[in-house]
Amino acid sequence: MIFETVKETANDLAEALGQLTHSQYTTSCITLSGSSIGQHVRHVVELFQCLLNGYESGVVDYDSRPRNQVIATRIETALDCLADIRTNVSHPDKSMLLHSSFGREAKPSVIATTYFRELLYNIEHAIHHMALIRIGITEVTEIQLPQEFGVAPSTLKYQAACAR
């Protein structure tokens, strides 16, 4: 089920973060164009938070997220946020509206979507950033992450099929 995938993704990210020092989490990485692992984690967390916070009203607006720098600078805060996502993700599917600006448009567009569709987007988005986080972790640590960290489930299935 989609909730289990969200929880597994959040767990995988939390396990990786639990191995980092504060310095490793906040260091600017050359391979990440100067951003830190923490900045990528903040971005992932905040998109999930936007969706969860918008569930009741039925409106999600990722562009208006708060960009809480504490998530990017404190591993403990990021871990708390990931735990909160795991705890609060399980809601029935429902129609929602996505507010989003494209390009340099000043006025946001409104797009019909669903809660499950946005969860799927967030899962794919998180995995994409986890691939980048893997690159940052490789730059600043000697930590060996699981081979599947930051790899899409569809890619893992494809690789398994090719190995047979």
- Given a cut of 80, whether residue 154 has pLDDT beyond it is yes
Q: Residue 44 belongs to what H/E stretch?
A: helix 37-54
- Domains of the chain: which residue ranges? 2-163
Backbone angles phi, psi at 29, to 5 degrees: -105, 130
Q: If you write DSSP's letter for every residue of 93-156 in order, what string do you get?
A: --EEEEEE--TT-SSPEEEEEEHHHHHHHHHHHHHHHHHHHHHHHHHH------TTTT--HHHH
Please state the rounded mean pLDDT for residues 42-69: 96
* pLDDT of residue 152 exceeding 90: no
User: pLDDT digits over 86-102, tens only?
Assistant: 999 999 999 999 999 87
CA distance 24 to 19: 10
CA separation for the pair 154, 164 (Å, rounded): 16
- Whether the predicted model's global pTM rises above the 0.75 cut: yes
48 token code pair: 């999930």
Q: What is the pLDDT of residues 101-131, one digit of tens each?
A: 877 767 779 999 999 999 999 999 999 999 9
Q: Which CATH architecture has domain 2-163?
A: Up-down Bundle (1.20)
164 falls in which pLDDT band (50, 70, 90)?
confident
C-alpha of 50 from chain center: 11
The predicted pLDDT at position 105 comes to 65
Q: What percent of the chain is predicted at pLDDT more than 90?
A: 85
